Structure 1
Amino acid sequence: MLDAGCGLELDDEIRVAIENMAGVLADMGAKIIPVDPVMTPAMLSGLDHYWSARSWAELSQLPPDRLEKVLPFIRTWAQRGEKVSGVAAVDGLGQTFAMRRKCAQLFEHVDIVLSPTTPNVSFPAEYPGPTNDPERSFDHIAFTVPWNMSEQPAISIHCGFSHGGMPIGAQIVTPRFADLQAIRLAAMYETARGPMPRWPLPPS
């Protein structure tokens, strides 16, 4: 899965790293097929509406001195929830069940899903998130959030480096309750892949 269906555009370096990992898995005997995304913009937007409303319901109860201690980015993002209607919040919660259905439907046809962990290689350390924009605060989680909602095990594993020396993560997703399958497949890939530098430790 190289298209999350929404959110940030996938960096080319990550795409190449995931394709290379797929090649390693194919050499191990896996049948690799492309799959469509499970996420949609409506799902991600609905989740944002629901979580911001829920977060503001909690943060708004804090006394002013404690509210001031919340990271300004988070405070701004959550306060948007004040304007989310009850209908929109419930619809947003409903999007989590839509994700579960799409994930279950996909696993009627595949045994595992291989995807990037994140669509971007890195972002400035001063940023609270890749977009640095409370209006787009979820744009970097579209590859990972559906499996959280569907309660499926997933493991992120190092599969290469960017040209700038940053590690790239691949995500292996397995069916519900198949946690050991994810761990075993990751271990098999690590063995086939061979040793890699233990970032951020310097090369020995």
Structure 2
Amino acid sequence: MNPTAPHDTPADLSVAAMTERFRAGDLTPVEVLDAVRARVEACEPTLNALWWSDLDRQGRAQAAARASAERWQAGEALGPLDGVPVTVKENIAVEGVPMPGGHAAGDPPTATADAPITARLREGGAVLVGATVMPDWGMLSSGVSSRHGITRSPLDPSLTTGGSSSGAGAAAAAGYGPVHIGSDIGGSIRLPGTWLGLATLKPSFGRVPLDAPYLGRCAGPLARRTEDVLAAMQVIGRSDPRDFSALPAYTGDYTRPLSDGGADVRGLRIGVHTDAGCGEGTDPHVASVVRATADALSDAGAEVVEIAPFMDEGLLADVDRFWRVRSWADFSALDLEDQRRILPHVARWCMAGADVPAVELMRCYHSIQRMRATTVAATVDYDFVLSPVAPMAAFPAEQPMPYTDPSLPMQHIGFTVPYNMSEQPASSVHAGFTPDGRTVAVQVAGRRFDDAGVLALSERIEEIAAVPAPVRIVGA
């Protein structure tokens, strides 16, 4: 959406613009919350982004907004997100809120405490307005859920949001405030990024603490601009003892410039590829957006080097099989009636994990470690690597996946999943459109721990490419 469009409200402001107005006293967090409430009321019947909301005028969010307004008036703001509306994905615990995991089976357990992310947001004064939906067990790259139904794109409700951070992506694109937190085990933050025209970050593994860490799983921000992703990381990118995989406390500055000073990309060595080496072939229109971005960086002084694809069909099939077994364990623990409530595509997909021998499962685990080694070896000589996020543009909202056959390995994650397993940071940056107007992002991957560098280059790409923001249709 064009940030200067006449229908913009305080809900559409960037974090920096919003908090500057809080500081100046010509806007309050209460007024912003009112604008978000109005946006949700206008959009939510179509989008279906929220599982739980706290938008009642007597609720905790209202109280948090009033408390923030008092702090800003007293000159005692708690940090860059004080008074800023945020959401978290439904698998990130909010005390007292049920966590269904996207599926309709059984009664969802109620969180007994805030997750580390939720706690950091509250400590920083952010106004938590809701929890966003996801598909069954987070194992789809769409907004299709047996519990929630279909979540739709604010840019075009006939199209997918991507997933599994489907509700977070829809909320970000619709303007339910500037910052939304999702999770990502194979692309679940970045895929909504490319299909909704968003800025996102899958951080280095362990950079954003979780209360349920798992191989490859990360949590991170989705927003409409990289500067808001950066602001969110300043708050949630902190260590927490509840996460046994957490990295040591980050003492750097996420706002630091690129390595050679300022926003100058000269001297950076950037690898680029548009062939993942596995899965579905890349749409030429998607590839052309990546190539145009690489050319723009080259024109700005970066050394851009073509690199060979480093994934292969075996690596993709093995991580897919590993996840099928994991989901089969969850599915098989349900009684027959609850099994029937699981989305059929997910049920058929995970049933292929039912008879996998333990020796084969261990082979798949070791294959994931080979993926990690292969990814590091292929990218270590470059400051950053540029690629598509997904090989295709957005598909119909009703489809669970970009392809319809659940017997296939996940055909669309060949560019994203390597960086989950290698633990390297990777962002999505809105960079262009297909001829029919669907959004396309580029993925920026960096060396492990260089989250700040990935964000700095992502911001620079936004500046260099100067691609118009996508136009929101729903709620406009």
Bin the TM-score by the shorter chain. over 0.9
The Cα of 1:169 is off from its aligned counterpart by: 1.2
2:22 alignment counterpart = none
2:210 alignment counterpart = none
Structure in which a larger fraction of residues adopt helix:
1
**Paired residues of 2:348 and 2:406 also in contact (CA < 8 A):** yes
**Paired residues of 2:432 and 2:467 also in contact (CA < 8 A):** no
The question of 1:109 aligning with 2:109 is answered: no
Tell me, what secondary structure is at the counterpart of 1:127?
Answer: coil
Q: TM-score scaled by structure 2?
A: 0.41
Which of 133, 142, 160 in structure 1 is aligned with 2:432?
Answer: 160
The question of 1:183 aligning with 2:442 is answered: no
Alpha-carbon displacement from aligned partner over 1:138-178 (angstroms, at most 9, x marks no partner) = 11011000001111100001110001110001100000000
**Paired residues of 2:439 and 2:470 also in contact (CA < 8 A):** no
Cα distance between partner residues in 1 of 2:467 and 2:387: 21
Cα distance between partner residues in 2 of 1:94 and 1:161: 38
2:307 alignment counterpart = 35
Which of 316, 319, 329 in structure 2 is aligned with 1:57?
Answer: 329
Tell me, what secondary structure is at the counterpart of 1:102?
Answer: helix
**Paired residues of 2:429 and 2:461 also in contact (CA < 8 A):** no
The Cα of 1:115 is off from its aligned counterpart by: 0.2
1:25 alignment counterpart = 297
Cα distance between partner residues in 1 of 2:379 and 2:392: 26
Higher relative contact order structure (alpha carbons within 8 Å, sequence separation ≥ 6): 1
Greater radius of gyration (CA): 2
The Cα of 1:195 is off from its aligned counterpart by: 4.8
The Cα of 1:124 is off from its aligned counterpart by: 2.0
The Cα of 1:132 is off from its aligned counterpart by: 1.4
**Paired residues of 2:433 and 2:439 also in contact (CA < 8 A):** yes
1:97 alignment counterpart = 369
CA RMSD of aligned residues (A): 1.5
Cα distance between partner residues in 1 of 2:395 and 2:467: 26
Alpha-carbon displacement from aligned partner over 1:125-145 (angstroms, at most 9, x marks no partner) = 221000111112411011000
The Cα of 1:103 is off from its aligned counterpart by: 1.4
Equivalent residue pairs, number = 203
Aligned residue identity for 2:452: L
Q: TM-score scaled by structure 1?
A: 0.94
Q: Which runs of 5+ in 1 are unaligned?
A: none
Which of 171, 177, 181 in structure 1 is aligned with 2:443?
Answer: 171
Cα distance between partner residues in 2 of 1:195 and 1:36: 27
Runs of 4+ in 1 over 2 A off after TM superposition: 197-202
Cα distance between partner residues in 2 of 1:145 and 1:80: 20
Which of 125, 131, 138 in structure 1 is aligned with 2:397?
Answer: 125
Cα distance between partner residues in 2 of 1:118 and 1:108: 22
Q: Counterparts of 1:73-92 in structure 2 under 5 Å?
A: 73-92=345-364
The Cα of 1:83 is off from its aligned counterpart by: 2.3
Q: Which runs of 5+ in 2 are unaligned?
A: 1-272
